[in-house]
Chains A and B, each alone.
Chain A
Amino acid sequence: MALSSGADRGSHSMDKSITLPPDEIFRNLENAKRFAIDIGGSLTKLAYYSTVQHKVAKVRSFDHSAKETEGDPLYEISVQEEITARLHFIKFENAYIETCLDFIKDHLVNTETKVIKATGGGAHKFKDLIEKKLKLKVDKEDEMTCLIKGCNFVLKNIPHEAFVYAKHADSEFRFQNTHPDIFPYLLINIGSGVSIVKVEAEDKFERIGGSSIGGGTFWGLGALLTKTKRFDELLQLASKGQHTNVDMLVKDIYGGAYGSLGLTGDLIASSFGKSATTDKEFSKEDMAKSLLHMISNDIGQLACLYAKLHNLTRVYFGGFFIRGHPVTMHTITYSINFFTKGEVQALFLRHEGYLGAIGAFLKGAEEDNPNQYSWGENYAGSSGLMSVSPELNPVQRARSGTFDMLEMDRLERQLVNLPLLQDPTSYIPDTVDLTEDVLAREYWLYCFEEALDGVVKRAIASQKDQPKAVERAEKFRQKYRHKLQTLRHQPFAYGSLTVRSLLDTREHCLNEFNFPDPYSKIKQKENDMALKYYLKVVKSVEELSWEQRQFTLVKGLLAGNVFDWGAKAVSDVLESDPEFGFEQAKLQLQERPWLVDAYNQWIERLKGPPHKCALFFVDNSGIDIILGVFPFIRELLIRGTEVVLASNSGPALNDVTNSELQILTERIAAMDPVIHTALKEDRLALVQNGSSSPCLDLSRLDKVLATVVRERGTDLVIIEGMGRAIHTNYYAMLSCESLKLAVIKNSWLAERLGGKIFSVVFKYEVPSNIREIKS
């Protein structure tokens, strides 16, 4: 049952002495618009919607009708204020509820809200207090409805929300991919009792069963048996005990296994069976462990029976009995595995504790229709999954969890799968899971820490004239360094740790301290410089024979990609030697055969009929886009292939953004009739990818892009650069032809792949079904 315990609330004294650090918790409260609260047996979860004022870098084209003077910048960069929507969720102990309400009252400046949505077993208990303090009317919402709504929301919007727990594996957590279709699933909510709910659609769910043996039984019976009052302490006892001293095992009855039934000797035949027949004292630890096994096994068994009856394989567990406790996750996992013989996996959720609050909030926000947007977890503002190491004692755990936060940004556009993914359900963007690969994790964490000074320096440089830039940059440094340290100890804090998540976390942290685009000026300068060479490059290519031309274009693409401020080896060179030019870059490139070399197959393909439409995920500004990508796609256009250039919606490193690319394309079109005509005839289109990451998640792309891809009958996808083609998507399987190309600008990674720095990856893939048609 989803019934929260109302017990032991008397033991929490209202602690008013703590002072709340407003920088860190209850952020953006002054703009809070809408509230919801979920009060459980021991924890309160508060949700509010707020707007965040952000600095964003905008680029604007100058009026080019006026005669340009030499040395004028290409376009204008301005930093503007933009308001974006953010969801805040905070979790704290019920003991702090009064302090928190006071704090909210004092900081809530201009809200028009009159009601606060409330759910959870404790909602009625604190109703008067909330109404008195906040002057908001408490509006109660059904607990289970909120829970399911919240569950649907996190499953849809947070990648790596669900995970499998494996106590003895290299990484305790194995995160699951976000499935495009989350239904149907079974939610087993273990509060005081157990509720088993089948969820078939957004608003269609049914409580198909339950049990009275749940968290309350563990707590109540455990308190009676061990005289231990707190739930956490009981779990702590259990993690130290030996259930075999209390339980009657199969081998206690048989002397060994019951072979003919396949029951092993260690299997529990009768929980607490020894205390019925043996006249002796049992230790608290042993009894607590036995009780934990008894309850977990029982719940696991019922869950399996219901899963089987309703033919469901996705089974999520939640409720205060689970809530990040490794001991309960382990015993439940074990039990499910035993009863289904491995056919069903127990799934847990990173934000399980917030489901009720999220659901209550969504109930209140229905008029804003939050489900029409996509949301993204903000790594800068979210605490991440707590360490669940059993070594941490409960006091430490309780303290570190005093205030836990989740922040989610409303994304400007709806994100969907790339329609060309071969199998969206098995698509994993990231090439290496750093939660599992310890060596790679250590390297990348070190690498990002090393690069931090440079990032701080560049951030300050980008806002020389801005107030408090140094101070903010320092705050950024502290925040990101702290995140890196957290991830060193808890790599699973935000789902699978990947190079992408490390990069994204850095972008989120930079944004948090109002450094929206530290590279804007560098990008501007590089774009400007590269444009000057465009015609020269195009002309020199045109003079070549067809074969030579194709090779030069590919080499240009690769050489352009060497220019990347994101890679440390390159940013070192660029900073010490700004003259490092396009031609020199070509010399740096590895000679053929490349590390991955499908060039010959690509050329053979080009000898055939032109592609209908190519989708090109572009990478860096400057030389890369202007001297590498444009000459290459120009050739495609001439061949009769339509081209869609997909660029980032928001800034990340020196990657070219969609708004920058608009201006650049305009300028190139002014010089180059091929591009001009292609634009006019709509055979060259610019779309944004919906992301502000240096990496690429093909399962979260702008809906418009997906439409364009579908409408134009895209039959070739080109992915360029380390971030998009190596760290992510290296193994992505597409349903059409694809080119993945990059220069490995990191010697560690190059070595790992079996090459040297500046090794070239040129991967051309044709899905088997298309190959068959051709042959």
Chain B
Amino acid sequence: MKLRRCSRKPAFPWFGMDIGGTLVKLVYFEPKDITEEEELEEVENLKSIRRYLTSNTAYGKTGVRDVHLELHNLTICGRTGNLHFIRFPTAAMHRFIQMGRDKHFSSLHTTLCATGGGAYKFENDFRTMADLELLKLDELDCLIQGLLYIDSVGFNDHPECYYFENPSDTQNCIKEPCCLDNLFPMLLVNIGSGVSILAVYTKDNYKRVTGTSLGGGTFLGLCCLLTGCETFEEALEMASKGDSTNVDKLVKDIYGGDYQRFGLQGSAVASSFGHMMSKEKRDSISKEDLARATLVTITNNIGSIARMCAVNEKIERVVFVGNFLRINTVSTKLLAYAMDFWSKGQLRALFLEHEGYFGAVGAFLDLLKSADDT
């Protein structure tokens, strides 16, 4: 990639930021090849930022560094180091900006590359509160560039990409890493708070096919309302213990078995939350069951729309990304099953280890590119 032959390096620190509706994703490049000379020259607050980010795995109450995703010994623009992946809720954005002010970030003469809707929404706050100018980038451009880059460098000598073998067999369904010779064309389904579906033909030829408002935000939002939970982790934890068939009405609940006229299996969901029309059933349901049903409903719906788009666009490779899939094997397996089952094996669902961070990576790459351009 062109990026690795940078003629002029941008000043440290190197960040890329993706400010979504629910989460802010931050990637930070920690140079490991700092010479003594450099170290002497390095200003104090740059050092303190590096130390703060790399020596902690949690920041404040809600910030988290996904240590397991860290990429080691990456060489970018002639520098070698580690790439860190950090996230915190968008609700904490103002505290983050304040921190930037307190640490005199503006004195570092770095460009802050940001993508996602928040780059627009918070632009003015960055400026007035912390004297910082954002370089705003299109989120879908960033998503695709970031994804292609991470896929190309791999995940610390392992493939970035994986799929599920035997998706229709719960006992033998196993995660398999895979290297793809050619990613194109791919249908890229990005599940954040909402969902965007892109048809990607080459690294800079893509279109947004459609989107749906039933995404990760809907899962968490409904779970919060239905169960009183507060975090995604909590919601997923509950969902993993629940049984959605207590909540959903299945084909067999209505027809006593399969609906043969249309080849519908008895175990297929006929009506999501359909049992909840009855008061007795509402009174006897557990929170875990509700969380599970919510997860299954949202996931199946995304699967169904993605599959239709793949057929309409005549694309067989469907790649799912986004933070909805984080620690969410229930959904990844459901999506793998849905693609396989409904397409009779024609479509394959692919997943990527760095799920929700590609936008931030793309913004980070742009920082290096923009330095190159000047």
Chain A positions within 8 Å of B, measured between CB atoms, are 1, 3-8, 10-11, 121, 142, 144-145, 191-193, 195, 207, 209, 211-217, 219-221, 223-225, 229, 246-248, 250, 252-256, 258, 260-261, 268-277, 282, 287, 294, 297-298, 301-302, 305-306, 308-309, 339
Contact = CB atoms under 8 A, between A and B. Distances in A.
A1 B89 CA distance: 38
B312 A269 contact: no
Interface residues of B, number: 67
Nearest to B296: A212
A256 B273 contact: no
A260 B115 CA distance: 13
A216 B309 contact: no
A253 B272 contact: no
Interface stretch (B31-39, B40-48, B276-284): B276-284
5 contacts: A224-B273, A246-B221, A253-B117, A276-B220, A309-B311
B167 interface: no
B271 A220 contact: yes
Nearest to A279: B230
Given A216-B271, A252-B21, A270-B215, A224 B282 contact: yes
Nearest to B222: A272
Given A254-B120, A302-B308, A306-B308, A273 B270 contact: no
Nearest to A262: B208
Interface string B240-274: 00000001110100110000011010001111111
B278 A8 contact: yes
Interface string B216-230: 111011111110000
A145 B261 CA distance: 9
A187 to B, nearest CB: 13
Contacts of A5: 271, 274, 277
Q: Which 4 A-B pairs have the closest CB atoms?
A: A220-B276, A253-B117, A272-B221, A270-B217
Contact of A287 (B225, B249, B308): B225
A1 B250 CA distance: 11
Contacts of A246: 221
B215 A220 contact: no
B297 A256 contact: no
Given A225-B226, A252-B21, A309 B262 contact: no
Given A255-B121, A301-B210, A273 B254 contact: no
A224 B224 CA distance: 12
B216 A270 contact: yes
A213 B272 contact: yes
B289 to A, nearest CB: 11
Given A213-B214, A253-B20, A271-B218, 16 more contacts: A1-B271, A144-B262, A192-B274, A192-B277, A212-B248, A212-B268, A219-B276, A221-B222, A223-B277, A224-B276, A255-B123, A269-B117, A275-B225, A277-B22, A308-B312, A339-B210
Contact of B194 (A207, A269, A277, A306): A269
A305 B305 contact: yes
Interface of B: 20-22, 89-91, 116-118, 120-123, 138, 140, 192-194, 208, 210, 212-218, 220-226, 247-249, 251, 254-255, 261-262, 264, 268-280, 282, 290, 297, 300-301, 304-305, 308-309, 311-312
A6 B254 contact: yes
Given A221-B276, A269-B194, A270-B194, A277 B90 contact: yes
A214 B213 CA distance: 16
Contact of A214 (B21, B121, B271, B311): B271
B262 A273 contact: no
A276 B236 CA distance: 13
Contacts of A298: 212, 214, 301
A267 to B, nearest CB: 8
A507 B91 CA distance: 68
A274 B276 contact: no
Nearest to A287: B225
Nearest to A246: B221
Nearest to B216: A270
B21 A282 contact: no
A216 B249 contact: yes
Contact of B225 (A144, A193, A282, A309): A282
A220 B226 CA distance: 12
A7 B277 contact: yes
Given A214-B271, A224-B282, A248-B193, A270 B213 contact: yes
A304 to B, nearest CB: 9
Given A224-B290, A253-B193, A273 B221 contact: yes
Of B21, B215, B223, B290, chain A has the most CB atoms within 10 Å of the CB of B21
Contacts of A258: 117
A216 B273 contact: yes
Contacts of A192: 249, 254, 270-271, 274, 277
Of A221, A305, A306, chain B has the most CB atoms within 10 Å of the CB of A221
A193 B301 CA distance: 12
Nearest to B220: A276
B308 A297 contact: no
Contacts of B309: 305
A643 to B, nearest CB: 55
Nearest to A270: B217
Nearest to B276: A220
B210 A272 contact: no
B221 A253 contact: no
Given A213-B297, A253-B118, A301-B210, A270 B271 contact: no
B276 A253 contact: no
A307 to B, nearest CB: 11
Contacts of B118: 253-254
Contact of A276 (B140, B224, B247): B224
B297 A212 contact: yes
Nearest to A260: B138
A121 B280 CA distance: 19
Nearest to A229: B279
B277 A216 contact: yes
Contacts of A212: 248, 268-272, 274, 297, 300
Contacts of A193: 249, 269-272, 274
Nearest to B140: A261
Contacts of A256: 120
B297 A276 contact: no
A494 B178 CA distance: 62
Contacts of A145: 261
A274 B221 contact: yes
A191 B222 CA distance: 22
Given A229-B279, A250-B117, A275-B221, A220 B270 contact: no
A306 B309 CA distance: 10
Contacts of B308: 209, 302, 305-306, 309
Given A142-B261, A220-B271, A253-B121, A270 B226 contact: no
Contact of B21 (A207, A253, A306): A253
Of B247, B248, B304, chain A has the most CB atoms within 10 Å of the CB of B304
B262 to A, nearest CB: 4
A269 B301 contact: no
A220 B21 contact: no
Given A271-B217, A273-B21, A254 B121 contact: yes
Contacts of B90: 277
A1 B217 CA distance: 26
Contacts of B301: 211, 213, 298
B304 A211 contact: yes
A356 to B, nearest CB: 15
Nearest to A272: B221
Contacts of A308: 312
Contacts of A268: 194, 213
Nearest to A291: B222
Contacts of B223: 276
